[in-house]
């Protein structure tokens, strides 16, 4: 049995207090909300913080709000189960409800939060192993080594983003709201993720995600999320696909976005797939062209459950 390393748990009552605690303890501290990702990684000694700052007591970050003018706002502590079961989310953002419902198991969805899921650590078969396994290999660039085991000549880590909600939030045009020592700021979700498996987010160490805002989807908009994994009941994605289209009254596509996940260190948008759909009536030929563009862009690396026996 893998055991957690020794650490001190310090609950924060407000977002400002959480930021202050993270800033005060520096690299020795990490934030935790549901803990479904962090604690598993701590057991494998991927993270060994001396202080864990608990965000769960911050009641002001636990909400789901929707109106037709401003759209959807999710507090960072809204659970994945709550999002999957939310009436407004299911009606107006069905791909987000599907993505949240696809994460792990019911027990972990009850604990896991949307803020934690957008910040889930990048994954790789050479990284997500216990300490003895990684030591026998000689470690990797992401933890304790200097070579990416996926591509030994790569100058950067190629661990992949495996958040189910991230690609969906991106097709919806979501914005991430952060609180830090310098105050609050917000950025488009596509700017929140970096194309580097070691430094995966444009978030400072002492910043926390406070909420996620999504504009109204618009009329005649349809969206979907599909997930390929080894076990449909539990696993991280081998491939995630989020798609959104909007048509005019004549049935012609006027807007489209398609984002892949688990094929790169950040969610991978495929503009060529969108362009293949825009201006068409979404007939079979257009859909085939969009699928071909997505296939050409999505080249999984040899570091996920579907590529190494």
Each residue's pLDDT tens digit, 198-214: 999 999 999 999 999 99
Scanning the structure block, which residue is given the tokens 């006027």? Answer: 254
Each residue's pLDDT tens digit, 28-53: 999 999 999 999 999 999 999 999 99
Q: Which pLDDT score is estimated for 37?
A: 96
Measuring CA to CA, which residue among 160, 135, 137 is closest to residue 149? 137
Each residue's pLDDT tens digit, 277-307: 999 999 999 999 999 999 999 887 777 665 5
Q: What is the SS3 assignment for 90?
A: helix
Domain boundaries, the chain: 59-119+160-297
CATH classification code of 59-119+160-297: 3.30.465.10
pTM of the model: 0.95
Cβ atoms within 10 Å of 175's Cβ, excluding its own:
18
Q: Where are the alpha helices (DSSP H) in 3-57?
A: 15-25, 38-43
Measuring CA to CA, which residue among 204, 194, 119, 104 is closest to residue 158? 194
Q: Which pLDDT score is estimated for 307?
A: 54
Query: Distance between CA atoms of 12 and 56, rounded to whole angstroms?
Result: 8
Tokens for 158? 């190629």
Backbone angles phi, psi at 243, to 5 degrees: -135, 145
Q: If pLDDT is split at 50, 70 and 90, which confidence band does 1 have?
A: confident
Query: Distance between CA atoms of 286 and 247, rounded to whole angstroms?
Result: 14
Q: Which pLDDT score is estimated for 118?
A: 98
Q: Which residues 6+ apart lie within 8 Å of 69 measured at CB? A: 216
Q: Which pLDDT score is estimated for 309?
A: 43
Q: Which pLDDT score is estimated for 47?
A: 97
* Cβ–Cβ under 8 Å, residues 81 and 44: no
Tokens for 242? 């989020």
């Amino acid at each position: 049995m893998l055991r957690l390393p020794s650490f001190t748990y310090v609950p924060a009552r407000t977002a400002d207090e959480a930021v202050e605690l993270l800033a005060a303890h520096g690299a020795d501290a990490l934030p935790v909300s549901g803990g479904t990702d962090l604690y598993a990684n701590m057991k494998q000694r991927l993270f060994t913080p001396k202080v864990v700052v608990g965000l769960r007591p911050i009641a002001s970050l636990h909400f789901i709000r929707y109106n037709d003018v401003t759209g959807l706002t999710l507090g960072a502590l809204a659970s994945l189960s709550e999002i999957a079961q939310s009436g407004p989310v299911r009606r107006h953002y069905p791909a987000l409800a599907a993505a949240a419902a696809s994460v792990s198991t019911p027990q972990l969805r009850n604990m896991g939060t949307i803020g934690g899921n957008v910040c889930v650590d990048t994954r790789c078969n050479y990284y997500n192993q216990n300490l003895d396994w990684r030591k026998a290999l000689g470690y990797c660039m992401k933890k304790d080594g200097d070579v990416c085991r996926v591509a030994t000549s790569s100058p950067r880590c190629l661990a992949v983003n495996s958040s189910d909600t991230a690609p969906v939030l991106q097709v919806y045009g979501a914005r991430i709201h952060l609180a830090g020592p310098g105050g609050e700021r917000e950025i488009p979700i596509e700017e929140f993720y970096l194309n580097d498996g070691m430094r995966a987010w444009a978030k400072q160490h002492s910043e926390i995600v406070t909420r996620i805002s999504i504009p109204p989807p618009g009329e005649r908009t349809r969206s979907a999320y599909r997930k390929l994994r080894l076990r449909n009941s539990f696993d991280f994605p081998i491939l995630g696909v989020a798609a959104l289209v909007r048509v005019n009254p004549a049935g012609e596509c006027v807007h489209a976005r398609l984002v892949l996940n688990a094929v790169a260190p950040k969610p991978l948008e495929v503009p060529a797939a969108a362009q293949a759909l825009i201006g068409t009536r979404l007939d079979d030929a257009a859909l085939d062209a969009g699928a071909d563009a997505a296939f050409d862009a999505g080249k999984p690396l040899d570091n996920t459950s579907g590529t190494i026996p």
